[in-house]
Amino acid sequence: MIGAGCLLLQNAQATLVFEDGFNYPAGNLNAASTNAFTGNPWTSGSSHITVVNNNLTYSGEQDQGGNAMSNVWGISAGSIITTYANQTSGTLYYSFLVDVTAVGTINSYFTSLNPGVVTPGGSGDALGAYIKSDGSGWEIGMRTAGASTVEDTVAGTAGLLSLNTTYLVVMSYTFATGTAQMWVDPSALGGSAPTADVSLTGGTSTAIDDIGFKAQSNGGATTLLYDNAIIGTTWADVTPLSAPEPSTCALAGLGLLGLVTRFRRTRQ
């Protein structure tokens, strides 16, 4: 019974739409990089959006391994996208790990979800995440087509996030209501979504089937690392719990077996 529970936990990702741990050779992320989950390549590209020998992890979340993506701003603009199965109903969830290692003077977008082969474009994006400089730290913001940008005001102090720190960010978009939500370092992984940090209403997007990244030509010295991109139709899809070690499942099974044996002896 315990063993079956462990097996179910390890395979409870039935409605994933997309995932990428950036397990590509170090260098440019471009059309030569094919996503293993969808079989679709990354298209276009930017010399400032690259794969680096790094791997971001988050306590409690299942790690995809591989490398990480580096995005350097303040040199020249560029975008890259890839596609997955078209989504037009229900709620779409998007999670990722991000570590901003340097921040200039900026308030702009770095990743978004869109329909078709639309590259990240700011106010027209179906669902986008923003970086805003704030003194020695930074804030993360959210925007959806038809609504204004809103900064996360829950994480940290007054929304201020630290440099050189890995954060888990989850975003969602509900098609029927045009509602977008954001969580930073959510209080619970797996299961059901906790209360969102911030929400936006008024979204007008009716379809989403790509994920993209933007290197901005402005933004000074802003540099970020990004990893573990997951898109799915449930909260549990995009916040997968670390799988128990095989030894943990084995020990749990032995413990249960011991209790059953003891119960039987007591009844004899």
- For the stretch 107-147, pLDDT in tens is 899 999 999 999 999 999 999 999 988 777 899 999 999 98
Q: What is the mean pLDDT of residues 148-155?
A: 70
Q: Per-residue confidence at 261, pLDDT binned at 50, 70, 90?
A: very low
Strand partners, 224: 71, 100
- 104, amino acid identity: G
- The domain of 239 spans 2-267
pLDDT of amino acid 56 = 98
Q: What is the mean pLDDT of residues 72-83?
A: 95
CA dist., res. 236 & res. 261, Å (int): 35
CA 74 to chain centroid? 24
Q: How far is CA 109 from CA 79, 132, 181, 237, in A?
A: 11, 9, 16, 24
* More confident: 197 or 262: 197
CB-CB contact of 173 with 92 (8 Å) = yes
Q: What is the mean pLDDT of residues 92-97?
A: 98
Residue 258 reports pLDDT greater than 70: no
- End-to-end, the C-alpha distance of the chain in Å comes to 24
Residue 160 reports pLDDT greater than 70: yes
pLDDT of amino acid 3 = 41
Lowest mean pLDDT among 27-36, 67-76, 89-98, 133-142: 133-142
* More confident: 268 or 177: 177
* More confident: 262 or 169: 169
CA dist., res. 65 & res. 105, Å (int): 32
The number of distinct structural domains making up the chain is 1
CB-CB contact of 29 with 66 (8 Å) = no
Residue 185, domain CATH: 2.60.120.200
Is the pTM of the predicted complex or chain greater than 0.75? yes
What is the 3-state composition of the chain as percent helix, strand, coil, each rounded to the nearest 5? 15, 40, 45
Strand partners, 180: 173, 200
pLDDT of amino acid 209 = 98
pLDDT of amino acid 243 = 77
Supply the mean pLDDT for the chain. 86
Strands 16-20 and 78-87: unpaired
Among 179, 189, 188, CA closest to 230: 189
**Alpha-carbon dihedral angle through residues 77, 83, 88, 94, given to the nearest 10 degrees:** -70
Element (H, E) at 246: helix 246-267
